[in-house]
Structure 1
């Protein structure tokens, strides 16, 4: 490929993350699904969201507090009528033990973000230590070429750090995880889940 001969701006930032702006009448819901780790299940869940024209904003899967049971955490913008229909449809599947939807007020939740920066620009930036303290971030990796910062928090907090770094020195790479969340209740609705497990095992017989 022929070079254009144009000089690349070393402070040019990576593509900006898309801001989460809900449509009128919609809000962010967190859908939590408990299931055994069945092959193809994630694709089937995604299809249910697609049919309702709901975009999955974030997705994470991990083991739950119950051995052998996995927990899917999905965020999406929707109205409550639609999200209730989606969760009910997911919950009716034989391979799903239980599905719930929650608002932010029901949950303790976090996301993790990584920021890759130029070492030369980072070192020369004024107030590096103050910025790290301000956002409660930490240096995860540093070498002669790049610095990687880690920030845990809510979407708005990780986004704010991205904007400040972009404006001051540029961001070479950026990635943010899906939401991880637990409910504020004492247990993970264990009794409901165990009852659902027994019921669905009976239906499989």
Structure 2
């Protein structure tokens, strides 16, 4: 049974790695729903956060294949329940409806969103939350003809108090030191 998984990949920052990572998914005919790349808490280490909808067996195979890539230090997969995650969305809405009523202001307050910028032509609203939350706000604001809308990829951290990458690196370093 297919369900949503969050794959995290840790690597150093090397040119072409993103291409090699996406090829792994393409060859297995797996669509990437969300992709975010950023520096991690460990200096020089980057974290790829990839959301897919697949079976656990297929996800495990992909993670194993990703770990075989040169430059990938370690890869993990998690369920949504094992992670704390958010996305950010920006909405550009015409200014006219704000002059006509307080409906947009009420929608923004109810959604826990905030206004980032107001100009003579538009208002930019920001919402942080899960995809369902940001999509619901889009549908509410689109009654006023949203001019532009963008949602980021997912950012996520594990609920586990231990950073699994740090543990992996300690074990690897201990093993390498034992070979000396």
1:31 matches 2:7: yes
Query: 1:28-177 residue pairs with structure 2 within 5 A?
Result: 28-166=4-142, 168-177=143-152
Greater helix fraction, Structure 1 or Structure 2: 2
Tell me which moved more, 38-47 or 130-139.
130-139
Cα distance in structure 2, aligned partners of 1:126 and 1:72: 41
Partner Cα distance (1:139, 1:183) in 2: 30
> What is the aligned partner in structure 1 of residue 161 from structure 2?
186
Task: Summarize the Cα distance change of 1:47–1:125 in structure 2 as closer, same or farther, 3 Å threshold.
Answer: farther
Q: TM-score scaled to structure 2, two decimals? A: 0.92
CA contact (8 A) 2:87 2:155 kept: yes
Aligned residues between the structures: 177
Q: 1:75 to 1:198 in 2, by over 3 A?
A: farther
RMSD: 1.9
Alpha-carbon spacing, 1:120–1:42, altered in 2? closer, same or farther (3 Å): same
What TM-score do the two structures reach when normalised by structure 1? 0.81
Residues 73/133 of structure 1: CA separation in 2 closer, same or farther (3 Å cut): same
Identify if the C-alpha distance between structure 1 residues 43 and 196 changes in structure 2 by more than 3 Å, giving closer, same or farther: farther
Structure 2: distance between partners of 1:196 and 1:162: 46
